[in-house]
Amino acid sequence: MLRELPAESAVDPGDEPCPLRHERTAFPSLLSVASLSVRAAERARGDRVRRGTARAYPPGDEPRTVRLVDARNELGTFLRARRELVQPEDVGLPRGATRKVHGLRREEVAALAGISSEYYLRLERGRDTHPSDQVLDALARVLQLDHESRGYLLDLARARPSSPPAEGDRLPADAQLLLDTIGAPAFIVNRYRDVLAANAAATELSPMMRPGVNRIRALFLDAETQRAHPDWEQHAASMVAQLRADLGTRTDDPRAQTLIGELTMKSSLFRTLWDRHDVGRGGRSDTLIVRPGRPPLAFRQEKLQLVADPALLLVVYLPQTAPSDVPPADSGEGLSGCRAWPET
């Protein structure tokens, strides 16, 4: 049995059938108010989205309340979000015919982690924000966190007062020369996914790769960008996980708050993905890009961190051999100026 702390209050039923709960806070954040007003508007127009999934609510089954996200309790918010994603069957528990809870109950997580339900309640409510590494390891195991999500959990528990991050907007010397020598579409982005520089092949390939464009905003809000990327929803999920990983515990980053606030207001898919608290650095990935009147192009996306400024990423789209009905990007039907890349 792991070390337990005395409870401050009895266990709240806490396992509401509705996944969105209204928790009163003294000073709700800007994003909290935005989320509250947007979801209320969505219920009025029938745009119902279930938290933690991409499925819509059936008529009459929408949530009646919303949760105000307290930026001071990121650890508890993360634990709850991940708890709601783990199903009883995933941990060897029977579902039962009357279960209305989304995911695991609090007491189930506590029992599997070897801690008291009162202590776990304190963690979710932000009354204890510094659990031991032993407790965190147990929770990571129960919540089935991967390596990156486990690291994120540890960072939240050990969070120190954040200092303003470096802007990450100053390009290293000869950055454009580097891009121009790469024989494939390539560009540089900051942690917010603003495109700072790109080569000609990239700007020709997609408007999403042009300097001045925010790639996350374009992917969620621009219909032309979505049409150009048949797998855009999968790509969007990866981008959101990367954004959360890159921001880490800097929940007070003004630029991030502005970006997240806008996307929360305008995109139900973004809200769903952000509420999942998925975390990932996003290494290589395959993608197709479709252009009007031309064959789709297949690429493998590689991301490299710049030594001169770790907040900057060099992103390269490597031409790939595609299925028989999709010409590789270096074929005669592909992108002009994009020379062939050797097979690996």
- The number of CA neighbours under 13 Å toward the Cβ of 200 is 9
| Whether pLDDT at 67 is above 90 | no
Please tell me the distance from the alpha carbon of residue 111 to that of residue 79, in angstroms, as a whole number. Answer: 15
pLDDT in tens, 37-64: 444 444 444 443 333 333 333 333 333 3
Q: What pLDDT digit, counting tens, does each position of 9-43 carry? A: 344 444 444 333 333 333 334 344 344 444 444 44
Closest CA to 36 of 311, 223, 261: 261
Residue 269: per-residue pLDDT: 95
Q: Is 102 in a helix, a strand, or coil?
A: coil
Three-class SS of residue 300? strand
Are residues 309 and 152 in contact, defined by beta-carbon separation less than 8 angstroms?
no
* Section 109-135 average pLDDT: 91
Burial 217-246 (b: 16+ CB within 10 A, else e): bbbbeeeebbebbeebeebbbbbbbbbbbb
d(CA 41, CA 134): 43
Phi, psi of 258 (to 5 degrees): -65, -45
Q: What is the DSSP string of 136-172?
A: HHHHHHHTT--HHHHHHHHHHHT-----PPP---PPP
What tens digit of pLDDT does each residue of 287-328 get?
889 888 888 899 999 999 888 888 899 999 999 865 445 455
In the chain, what percentage of residues exceed pLDDT 90?
38
Domains, the chain, ordered by start: 30-157 (1.10.260.40), 175-319 (3.30.450.180)
Q: Is the Cβ–Cβ distance between 83 and 104 less than 8 Å?
A: yes
Q: Which of 84, 68, 60 is nearest to 144 (CA)?
A: 84
Instruction: Please give the backbone phi and psi of residue 105, each rounded to the nearest 5 degrees, phi first.
Output: -75, 160
Predicted pLDDT of residue 194: 95
Q: Structure tokens of 315?
A: 């992103």
Contacts of 24 (CB under 8 A, 6+ apart): 68
Nearest Cα to Cα of residue 195 among 174, 220, 176, 177: 176
SS3 187: strand
What 150-158 contacts at long range (C-beta under 8 Å, 24+ apart), as own/partner pairs, is 151/279, 152/78, 152/244, 152/245, 152/248, 152/279, 153/75, 153/78, 153/79, 155/248, 155/249, 156/74, 156/75, 156/78, 156/249, 157/75, 157/129, 157/130, 157/131, 158/130
Residue 132 phi/psi, 5-degree rounding, is -70, 160
Cα 332 to Cα 339: distance, rounded to the nearest angstrom: 10
Q: What is the pTM of this model?
A: 0.64
